Structure 1
Amino acid sequence: MHAVLSKIAKGITVCYAEVFPNQDNEYFHLAYMGKLFLIADSYCLNPDCKCQEAVLNFVQVYPRVGKNADSFMVMFKLNGRGFKIREQGKFHRSKIKAIMMHFNAENNIQNLLYERFKEMREKANEILS
């Protein structure tokens, strides 16, 4: 948990899988147009911060032979106001928007991310107490 405390102090988001390892739902998975993505969700755990966002890092699981995995990162607003692209990687904005629409529609993701956000904040309060 020392690494988590360090990230909280530095204002760095913390991955759900880092706080709750070895769970069946550590990461999200998404199949989209023949590509498989692994999605890590991270959250701000600063108790003084009022943000309600999840940072979602999408990594294509099976890259082409001899190539690095393609990835992109978005800031997903948990209040229902959409998302903002933080890192685009090799993906076009329109492709990211299409992937996000598919991800949200398939998984009704907003409620689940909000629940994980609350779990993370509760755990942060335990750690900091």
Structure 2
Amino acid sequence: MHAVLTNIAKGITVCYSEAFPDQNEDYFHLFYIGKLFIVADSYCMNPDCKCQEVVLNFVQTYPREDRKADSFMIRFKLNGSGYRIHDRGKFTRREIKAIVMHFTADDMLLELLNVRYKEMKEKAKEILSEVRT
């Protein structure tokens, strides 16, 4: 957890799977036009911050080919009002928009991301209270 503390102090987002490594569903999986993406969700763990955002890292995998994975990263607003691209990788803005729209089409996903955001904030409070005692 020392790395998590460092990230909290620096304001760096922390991947959900780092804070909750024993979860069955550490990452999301997305199939889009015959492509497989693994999506990692990272959150600001500063308990005082009210950013209401998640950083989503989309990694396109090539399970049967000897190719390096392609990826892009966005900062997505948890109220569903939009996103900002942090890294496009080899993807065009149009491709990213289509992939993100497909990924967020189900309202249940937005609810789950909000639940995970709250869990991460609670985890940060727990970690900080342990350090103080």
Q: How far apart, CA to CA, are the structure 2 residues paired with 1:67 and 1:61?
A: 9
What is the CA distance between 1:64 and its match in structure 2?
Answer: 7.4
Identical-pair percentage:
67
Given that 1:70 and 1:89 are in contact with CA atoms closer than 8 Å, whether structure 2 keeps it comes out as: yes
Structure 2 equivalent of residue 21 of structure 1 = 21
Q: 1:63 to 1:85 in 2, by over 3 A?
A: farther
> What one-letter code is carried by the residue in structure 1 that aligns with 2:34?
G
Structure 2 equivalent of residue 34 of structure 1 = 34
Tell me the secondary structure at the aligned position of residue 105 of structure 1.
Answer: coil
Tell me the secondary structure at the aligned position of residue 68 of structure 2.
Answer: coil
Aligned-pair Cα RMSD in Å: 1.4
Q: Which 5+ residue runs of structure 2 have no aligned equivalent?
A: none
Structure 2 equivalent of residue 105 of structure 1 = 105
What is the CA distance between 1:65 and its match in structure 2?
Answer: 3.6
Structure 2 equivalent of residue 82 of structure 1 = 82
Given that 1:63 and 1:69 are in contact with CA atoms closer than 8 Å, whether structure 2 keeps it comes out as: no
Given that 1:57 and 1:74 are in contact with CA atoms closer than 8 Å, whether structure 2 keeps it comes out as: yes
More displaced stretch, 25-34 vs 54-63: 54-63
More displaced stretch, 114-123 vs 98-107: 98-107
TM-score calculated relative to the size of structure 2? 0.91
Structure 1 equivalent of residue 58 of structure 2 = 58
Q: How far apart, CA to CA, are the structure 2 residues paired with 1:26 and 1:4?
A: 16
Q: Which 5+ residue runs of structure 1 have no aligned equivalent?
A: none
Tell me the secondary structure at the aligned position of residue 104 of structure 2.
Answer: helix
TM-score calculated relative to the size of structure 1? 0.94
4+ residue segments displaced more than 4 Å: none
> What one-letter code is carried by the residue in structure 2 that aligns with 1:108?
M
Tell me the secondary structure at the aligned position of residue 62 of structure 2.
Answer: coil
Q: How far apart, CA to CA, are the structure 2 residues paired with 1:109 and 1:73?
A: 17
Q: How far apart, CA to CA, are the structure 2 residues paired with 1:18 and 1:5?
A: 12
- Are 2:43 and 1:43 aligned? yes
Given that 1:42 and 1:56 are in contact with CA atoms closer than 8 Å, whether structure 2 keeps it comes out as: yes
Structure 1 equivalent of residue 70 of structure 2 = 70
